[in-house]
Amino acid sequence: AKENGKNNYQYYTSSLNLSNQRRMELETGLRNAINNNELSLHYQPQVNLVSNQIIGLEALVRWQHPKYGFISPAEFIPLAEETGLIFSIGKWVLKTACTQCKQWIDFGLPIESVSVNVSPLQFREKNFVSSVNQILEESDLPPRYLELEITESVTSNVNQALSIMKEIKELGVRFAIDDFGTGYSSLNYLRHFPIHKLKIDKSFIDEINQHKDGEEIVKTIIELGNRLRFQVIAEGVEDEQQLSFLKENNCYLAQGYFFSKPLPAEEIEVLLRKKIVE
Ligand code: C2E
Ligand code: CA
Ligand code: CA
Ligand code: CA
């Protein structure tokens, strides 16, 4: 037993070192990821449940690491936030998504919007508004096509968030509240923010047909969103039952593996040419 304990301990420390080493390598690698062309965007369709048309695409960043292969944004975005690399990565994502969207429009493809995730740090950065403006000009994308996904956490400083959002709204850009229901937000403040869309977090959608309380939360968010005249979209929809629950409860926009995984631009283009997702 003693020996076992010792082995466990050794195993534990060496795996700790390993993860420290991985972290350090990822940190160094992330600094060069943009220049080395290791970042790319995948796009996931947002679907209108009445017409079955794709109404928008969410851009999701991908990192192909030369040694470790695919690294999830759930791992490297927090790292980028800790190291300050989020600012350059965020700009790269925005620029790439806007340029891609403009190209699809020029091809005559039916696309209404591209949604880009914005880290709270990026959102609060001094030059955020002007860099959004600059990227829109450089990519020649009409601002109404751009939607920024922010989380409830940006509303912690109400006045600051409100003034940034108003300036960006002035440009013609829209806002979606991402992961809605998982963070802190005052419903009263929410009313005053220039928000276009509420995204119901996947964790609630997972509860459909599983837990009554979770279902009630989903219904309540949909009703709240509809009453405040936000668009309401369900994220992480994986099956038919979730879909019919959403429709029955007046949610008409959805995104999830049931329709499509996030796909590289070329594959999205094929879907857009078909116009309708099967
Ligand atoms: P998110 O914004 O909540 O994005 C939804 C995540 O759920 C994505 O994971 C997406 O691929 C995944 N997903 C979509 N539909 C389904 C489904 O039906 N089932 C399941 N199991 N998963 C589904 P992904 O791409 O790994 O991104 C994870 C998180 O990383 C995102 O969560 C977002 O917070 C962050 N992220 C991704 N790209 C960016 C970016 O460009 N900038 C910033 N700041 N954050 C990003
Ligand atoms: Ca998102
Ligand atoms: Ca989410
Ligand atoms: Ca289920």
Q: Is the CB of 60 under 6 A from ligand 1?
A: yes
263-264 and 197-200 strand pairing:
unpaired
Given a cut of 70, whether residue 4 has pLDDT beyond it is no
**Average pLDDT of 44-48?**
98
Q: CA 110: distance to chain centroid?
A: 21
For the chain, what is the mean pLDDT? Answer: 92
Residues within 5 Å of ion ligand 2, judged at the Cβ atom? 117, 149, 178
d(CA 34, CA 42): 15
Asked casually if ipTM beats, i.e. exceeds, 0.85, the reply is yes
- pLDDT band at residue 190 using 50, 70 and 90 as cut-offs: confident
Q: Is the CB of 120 under 6 A from ligand 1?
A: no
CA dihedral 213, 207, 271, 172 (to 10 degrees): 40
- Residues of the chain above pLDDT 90, percent: 82
H or E stretch covering 151: strand 146-151
Q: Identify the pLDDT of residue 186.
A: 73
Q: Identify the pLDDT of residue 14.
A: 62
User: Ligand 1 atom 46: the closest Cα is on which residue?
Assistant: 117
User: Ligand 1 atom 20: the closest Cα is on which residue?
Assistant: 236
- pLDDT band at residue 1 using 50, 70 and 90 as cut-offs: very low
Q: How many CB atoms are closer than 10 A to CB 87? A: 17
Answer whether 71's CB lies under 8 Å from 26's CB: yes
How does pLDDT run across 79-135, given as a tens digit for each residue?
A: 999 999 999 999 999 999 999 999 999 999 999 999 999 999 999 999 999 999 999
Q: Is the CB of 201 under 6 A from ligand 1?
A: no
What predicted TM-score, i.e. pTM, was given to this entire model?
0.93
How does pLDDT run across 164-183, given as a tens digit for each residue?
A: 999 999 999 999 999 998 88
**Average pLDDT of 237-257?**
98
Give the start-end residues of each E strand in 49-104. 54-65, 69-71
User: Ligand 1 atom 7: the closest Cα is on which residue?
Assistant: 236
Q: Identify the pLDDT of residue 9.
A: 52
**Average pLDDT of 179-188?**
82
Single out the residue of 117, 43, 41 nearest to residue 277, CA to CA: 43
User: What atom in ligand 1 is closest to the CA of residue 119?
Assistant: 44
**CA 110 to each of CA 6, 54, 106, 118: distance values in angstroms, whole numbers, following the listed order:** 62, 8, 10, 25
Q: Is the CB of 152 under 6 A from ligand 1?
A: no
Q: Is the CB of 183 under 6 A from ligand 1?
A: no
Among the bound ligands, name the one nearest to the CA of residue 60: 1
Given a cut of 70, whether residue 3 has pLDDT beyond it is no
Task: Tell me how far the alpha carbon of residue 234 lies from the centroid of ligand 3, in angstroms.
Answer: 10
